[in-house]
Amino acid sequence: MLPHIPQMRVFIAEDLGCHMDDVNVKATTTEKLGFTGRGEGIACEAVALLVKAAKMTDFDNLTWLHGKPEGHGLLKASPEDFVVVEDLGFEPDGEGEHILVRILKNGCNTRFVADALAKFLKIHAREVSFAGQKDKHAVTEQWICARVPAMPCPI
């Protein structure tokens, strides 16, 4: 069974119209479920039952267990729906061996950006710091500090 599981996941995902990562197959040969290819065995039966259940369910007319909700909402999923702006709390004075860089990012985590800044500045990643990791799945503006002693301004 084990050698067939990756291909089973691909077939099941195709049949259900979902991503392969959303499919998990757990069966052992001791269960004697069998799988010889597409259209046979437990994978085919499971997909057929799931598709049949989905077709039989009228999701728009399901009843409410405790009555219809009094309010409604909208689930937001786009990074642009979530905006984080970090307030530095003071005005940089332009002096010292640290530079402050204001970063606007979308789809990147803070550590990745800090490491990229260190590489750009040709300094070790430990010389770059920040006040908390901001959400990767949001539009975030934050300050990153880099220690660059005796280095002319690189930017």
Task: Report, as residue numbers or ranges, the catalytic residues.
Answer: 135
Instruction: Tell me if 110 sits within 8 A of 142, measured CB to CB.
Output: yes
**Residues with Cβ within 8 Å of residue 66, at least 6 apart in sequence:** none
**Residues with Cβ within 8 Å of residue 134, at least 6 apart in sequence:** 84, 86, 105, 110, 140, 142
**Alpha carbons 103 and 75: distance in angstroms, whole number:** 27
Instruction: Tell me if 117 sits within 8 A of 146, measured CB to CB.
Output: yes
